[in-house]
Amino acid sequence: MCPPAIRLFSTALLLSLTLSLSAAQQKVIVLGFDGVDARYTQKWMDEGKLPNMARLRANGTFRPLLPTTPAQTPVSWSTFSTGIDPGRTGIFDFLRRDPKNYLPVFAAFDETKEPFLLGAKNPMAAAALVFVLLAMLAIPFRRARAAVLVVAIIAAAGAFIGAKRYLPETRPGVINRRQGIPFWEVAASAGRKTMVVHVPVTFPATDFHDGYLLSGLGVPDVSGRVGKPFYFTSELDFHRSGSNEFSIEVVQLIDNKGVIPTEIQGPPNKLFKEPPYIKIPMTITVAQDRQSITIEESGQKLTMKPGDWSGWTDFVFPFNPLIKLRGVSRFHLISIAPEIKLYLSPINFDPRNLPPGFRISTPAKWAPELAGKYGLYKTLGWQIDTWAISEGFADEQMFWDDMNFTVAQNRKMFDSFLAGDKDLMVQCFEFPDRVGHVFWRLMDPQHPAYDAALAAKWSDALLRAYQLMDGIVGDAMAAAEKHNATLIVLSDHGFASFRKSVNYDTWLVMNGYMVLKSGVQVKERNVEMLFDQGQFWENVDWSKTRAYAMGLGELYINTKGREAQGIVNPGPEAEALKKELKERLVQFTDPETGEHPVRRVIAREEVYKQFDPNMIPDLFVTNNDGYRVSWQTSLGGIPKNLLEPNKQVWSGDHCSVDPEIVKGIFFMNKKLTTDRAPYIADVYPTVLGTLGVKPPYELDGVELK
């Protein structure tokens, strides 16, 4: 029998070893969902419709999560990744303005020009390589050596000319403007094996110690767009049923029978001067019985019937005989008779054949390895096409089919990753956000786009999306239990009904803060203008304008010394104007309802501890439920009416809605003792604390315990 002291010592030693072993083996799974609303999650858990999340709540913790200000996808996920607020990440909107010219540009990324291979030295390098190779052949042949050398010189000259003609000096590159160090890089540097999949604002992928990453939102399609679908139609009187300021490539077919030649417009030509776009031919052959069509493009042939989705199809865009860009996509044949209606989803970069320097994964070879192991997948950051249904080119079933197809592939990969040996596993799914954007109108009878007939079939679409999410959460829960891992499930923001648009620049004009030139024709804004260098602010008289709105809910003072044509003195004059705008914006009412579209106007110093005063907006205007900043305002448009009913399919939103209204979700498979309401910046220190890793700098969130 052991003496009590020895037994006590042994017990303590065993407990110490057990705790050390537990800490050493601790794993963390972070499962992110875009746009999941806390109110509906709680409601459907209480009704027994989300059993996995209800069990996670019962055994652990569930709380609504406060998103960033503003509550936008790239903004919140950037704070999630880095643990610092948008003032420090520099990502405060999808868009930012250049104070030198007032023009809108994308906030998270800058396009650059990088050397292609050796850049300007390509022709000389090609000539030298050819000459050396042929000259080496001359060594064994003494008698013919001179002749071979002459051939080598001629061949080298040809290589020089060919390289000068067919090899560009530069290629487009991308810089991610987000500041801060992602928590997975910190964990990896501390020796934790890490895998990160589809987190927004992680493009281009950068290497980090012993880590794997597949980029999310921010990866473009082959056209360099957020996602440009195609619609081929033989309808002569075709008109779009709606517009949400995002464009789709409409291709008019010359006939509806027989052999129909057409083409696909691919990437802009940023390698050579001509042509401006790389296009490839496509032929559509309609069967004599009009029961099917055959599509031929890029050396492939596929036959489709109405209602069919094709499998993955290759697209090869040749810049010249040496340089080709490869993409993948899928067709959907809507109809043949009486008219052809053929949809082509945005063309993704082919993960098996990515262009030089186009990094969507780390290590770079991981993206093609995933395609080899799991099959082709969407590389596009905005994976689920919301544009076609929003513009009237697709119906609800088409959208739903594409959504399910996308989620099934991502879930297959996720379930496999869960079985791996990583200490930290992070993966995001976007589908709840996309479903919320286009189906909210059918669960809100007060919405201007509500359709009772469609609602009879689709009013439960959001619930079905949440139930799909619940199944994925169940997969993660099972893996967490098996590996004794900490599980965190969260979303970046919630949702609200988008019944009316608010035109803030129109309000500024009506109230004398912005002055317009007379007699200037102004076009309606659309997102293509960002890519095609369209005109902006062409009717604004900056010499008399004191404030302007741009982006999804931001106001800027036209400050002297900061803006190119600023007239408001910094200091007391600017501060007085900000105070005046804050007071007046919350006072204006909707004459039809008597409601206040604006809930709060927040100065940047009220929400951000640190910020670049030349870049960060002066004021954030946040809306009440039912209202959102207009698409036109986001690009500096000034429509006639202050408020406009939103009759579009894009009917749910969050972008300019007050963050207090659109809270996301936070689950953890352990009980939290603190009563703190989680903020999205809290995830960073919570994950690192669980892994026993110190943060690299002062954070704007705290560890949840």
Enumerate the domain spans of the chain: 22-91+381-495+662-705, 117-167, 220-355, 498-653
CA atoms within 13 A on the CB side of 309: 14
Q: How far is CA 331 from CA 240, 270, 558, in A?
A: 20, 27, 48
The token pair at 700 is 């704007």
Q: Which residue has the tokens 């704070």?
A: 79
Which SS3 state, helix, strand or coil, does residue 122 take?
A: helix
Angle between helices 51-59 and 38-46 (to 10 degrees): 90
Coil/strand/helix, residue 392: coil
Beta strands in 364-464 (DSSP E): 424-429
Nearest of 184, 18, 176 to residue 111 by alpha carbon: 176
pLDDT of residue 144: 59
Distance CA 598, CA 576 (A): 20
Work out the angle at residue 554's Cα, subtended by the Cα atoms of residues 553 and 556, and round it to the nearest 5 degrees: 155
b/e per residue 37-46 (b: at least 16 CB within 10 A): bbebbbebbe
Phi-psi sector, 428: left (phi>0), alpha (psi -120 to 50), beta: beta
CA 398/CA 438 separation, integer angstroms? 12
Strands 95-98 and 103-106: antiparallel
Q: Please report, for residues 156, 164, 490, the alpha-carbon distance to residue 159 in angstroms, rounded to integers and kept in the order given.
A: 5, 8, 56
- Give SS3 for 358: coil
The 3-state DSSP composition of the chain as helix, strand, coil percent (nearest 5) reads 30, 25, 45
Please give the pLDDT value at position 530: 58
| Cβ–Cβ under 8 Å, residues 428 and 411 | no
Could you tell me if 585 and 507 are in contact, meaning their C-beta atoms sit under 8 angstroms apart? yes
pLDDT at 129: 84
* DSSP 3-state of 326: strand
Note whether 565 and 542 are within 8 A (CB): yes
DSSP β-bridge partners for residue 286: 293
3-state secondary structure of 417: helix
Give the chain's largest Cα–Cα span: 102
Q: What are the residue ranges in the chain where pLDDT is below 70? A: 1-25, 137-145, 148, 237-246, 520-523, 525-535
For tokens 């950051």, the residue is 381
Count of beta carbons in the 10 Å neighbourhood of residue 7: 11
Cα Rg of the chain, angstroms: 28
Dihedral angle of Cα 149, 150, 155, 157, to the nearest 10 degrees: 110
**What are 360-412's pLDDT values in tens digits?**
999 999 999 999 999 999 999 999 999 999 989 999 999 999 999 999 999 99
**Tell me, what DSSP letter sits at residue 354?**
P
Structure tokens at 616: 């960060």
For 669-686, give one letter per residue: b (16+ CB within 10 A) or e: beebeeeeebbbbbbbbb
Q: Return the amino acid letter for 349.
A: F
Q: Does domain 22-91+381-495+662-705 have CATH number 3.40.50.620?
A: no
The answer to whether the CB of 227 falls within 8 A of the CB of 221 is: yes
41/30 Cα distance (integer angstroms) = 18
Is the distance from CB of 303 to CB of 286 less than 8 angstroms? no
Neighbouring residues of 56: CB distance < 8 A, sequence distance ≥ 6: 62, 473, 477, 487, 489, 667, 669
In whole angstroms, what is the distance from residue 499 CA to residue 445 CA?
Answer: 11
Backbone angles phi, psi at 305, to 5 degrees: -110, 160
How far apart CA 225 and CA 523 sit, in angstroms, is 21
| Each residue's pLDDT tens digit, 80-100 | 999 999 999 999 998 899 899
Is 194 in contact with 349 (CB distance < 8 Å)? no
pLDDT of residue 172: 86
